[in-house]
Amino acid sequence: MPMGATAATPAELAGAKSGRAGRRVAVSGAGAVSGFGWGVEPLWQGLCAGATAIRPFSRFDHRSHRTHVAAEVPPPPQGSVPVAGRSAGGRRSASDRSGRQLSLADRFALAAAGEAAAAAGLDAALPGLPEGAGGVFFGSSTGGMWEGEGFVAELFGGRRGALHAIASQQVNGPGDAVARRYGFTGPVETVSSACASGALAIGAALAALRAGEVEVALAGGADSLCQLTYGGFNSLRAVDEEPCRPFRAGRAGMSIGEGAAVLVLEPLERVLARGARPLAELAGAGSACDAFHMTAPEPEGAGAAAAIAAALEDAGIEPADVDFVNAHATGTQLNDDAEWRALERIFGERARRLPVTATKAGVGHLLGCSGAIEALVTVLSLARGELHPVPAAADAIDGSCPAALVTGRPLALPAARAALSTSLAFGGSNAALIFRRWTGPSP
């Protein structure tokens, strides 16, 4: 249905409700920065080894914070990360000239976008896209707040502070930086809906691609560790002193992480036309709000279930077609219980047998980026035919949320048909994405 058209007829509305009414959208590239390192490979290897990147960190002095671990991004390999590059047409953009205007979150985003573009075979092509063809859909909860905190600390101390430190503070900074790097002139928008941001951004990209608003979308998110969120989640006593243990009986809270994740999304025909192979198909997206409480999830999981149901309907598939779940799984008592109820509502009896993985146990909760990095891991799981385990833990799976968590070794699922990735946010905004394994040109 053309974007921006006048009021749709009932028939158009009915048809548009299912993703089948629009063109199919593929993931053609992926890039990531996480506590396991800069790149998709360190992320994947760390997760598949059942390791955790959640450990004591050095970004700021945490001695007076209630907890002392996080999944901090290590320094990039020497000389391997281009922080600023030439933008379209050989003209340098403003952010190139003043690299100091880039926040750490911006740098994560640019690295992930660069890796994704290269993986899609598009890094040369992106700056030369036709006008309006390229767009960025990003999620972030704090943008350049880490740098902003430094500035604000100066102010509190009665000093002036340097403006460049606050210039990059905006939540829309990372998404805008990516758009600037590639000279995009299409839609650029940043979602800041807490833990659902990345998934909502990917959903927005899907809608824009289907509607023909863009031809190539860089969709994902970025967030960096900062004292505001680290202290904030600790004020809610929501953070475990140990690395989080989703779905386990003794789980005691979440772990915070940082990084970025970017997916290159294009119409399927476009990917195939240049002889590239999709990593997976982005089949559907759905979202719904608990409208219940500002911090606690609605305990019966109704809002989460509604988001999942909407995503399934959007993808035109049934729950029985989903072969594994990348759960939101923060490791708090309340989230995992509510999420389990949602999975039971959707999958019924089958929920207990449906393989589930919890990426946050490996890389922590990336906040505004979490939905994006978990979507990326879901895509890799389909493309590589295996589901990563969670790190070993002493306590058993909680009998009141008995998810079939993958433990020990990766679970081989070479024939998985479709996968669900869920994001259940602080404030009650829930988002779900459905990815389909790419099996070849003839579906």
Partner 1 sequence: MPDVASVADRVKRLIVDNLHLEGLRPEMIDEEAPLFGEGLGLDSVDALELVVAVEKEFGIKIKSNEIGRDAFASVASLSRFIAGRL
Partner 2 sequence: MVITALGTAGAHGCGRAGLARALAAGMPPPATEVDRSGGFHRAGGAGRALLTPIAALVPWVPPAEARRMGPPSRLAVAAARMALADCGSNPALLAGPGTAVVLSTAFGPTSFSEALLRQILLDSPEAASPYLFTESVANAPAAQIAIACGARGANVTLCQREAGPLLAVGRGAAEVAAGRAERALVGAVDEMSPLLHAMLDRFGALARPREIARPFDRRRAGVVAADGATVLLLETAAAAARDGRQPLARVRGWGSAFDPSAPPTGWGRGSEALGRALRRLLARCGVQDIQEIDRIASGASGSRAGDRLEAQVLRAAWGAAALPPVLAPKGVTGEYGGGFLAAAVLAAAGVDGVAAAPTAGFDAPDPELGVSPHDGTPLPPLRALLASSLAAGGAAAWLVLGPP
Q: Which of 48, 62, 365, 388 is catalytic?
A: 365
Nearest approach, Cβ of 297 to partner 2 (angstroms)?
12
Report the distance separating Cα 189 and Cα 3, nearest Å: 16
Q: How far is the CB of 314 from partner 2 (least distance, A)?
A: 8
Does 237 participate in binding partner 1 (rule CB under 8 A)? yes
Shortest distance, CB of residue 64 to partner 1, whole angstroms? 12
Q: Rounded distance, CA 94 to CA 226, Å? A: 26
Minimum CB distance to partner 2, residue 25 (Å): 14
Two tokens, residue 147: 């740098």
3-state SS, residue 68: coil
Pick from 78, 79, 124, 131: which binds partner 2 (CB under 8 A)? 131
Show contacts with partner 2 in window 289-308 (CB under 8 A).
289-295, 303, 306
Using CB under 8 A, which residues numbered 120 to 139 contact partner 1?
none
In the residue annotation, 328 being an active-site residue is answered as yes
Active-site residue 293, yes or no?
no
Tell whether the torsion through CA atoms of 237, 240, 241 and 247 is positive or negative. positive
The nearest distance, CB 218 to partner 2, in angstroms, is: 12
When the beta carbons of 87 and 359 are compared against partner 2, the nearer one is 87
Task: List the x/- string, 176-215, binding to partner 2 by CB under 8 A.
Answer: xx-xx-xxxxxxxxxxxxx-----x---x--x---x-x--
Is 365 an active-site residue? yes
Using CB under 8 A as the binding rule, the residues of this chain from 277 to 306 that contact partner 1 are 293-296
Strand runs labelled E in 99-201? 134-139, 188-191
> Which of 62, 226, 244, 328 is labelled catalytic?
328
Among 48, 62, 195, 226, which one carries the catalytic annotation?
195
Q: What is the DSSP string of 179-221?
A: HHHHT--S-EEEE--GGGHHHHHHHHHHHHHHTTS-SEEEEEE
Q: Does 442 bind partner 2 (CB under 8 A)?
A: no
Nearer residue to partner 2 within complex by CB, 204 or 401: 204
34/430 with CB nearer partner 2: 430
Residue 244 is classified by DSSP as P
Of 393, 395, 427, residue with least CA distance to 51: 393
Question: How far is the first Cα of the chain from the last one, in angstroms, to the nearest whole number?
Answer: 23
Which residues have CB under 8 Å from 2's CB, separation 6+?
Answer: 211, 212
Given a contact cutoff of 8 angstroms between Cβ atoms, the answer to whether 5 and 12 are in contact is no
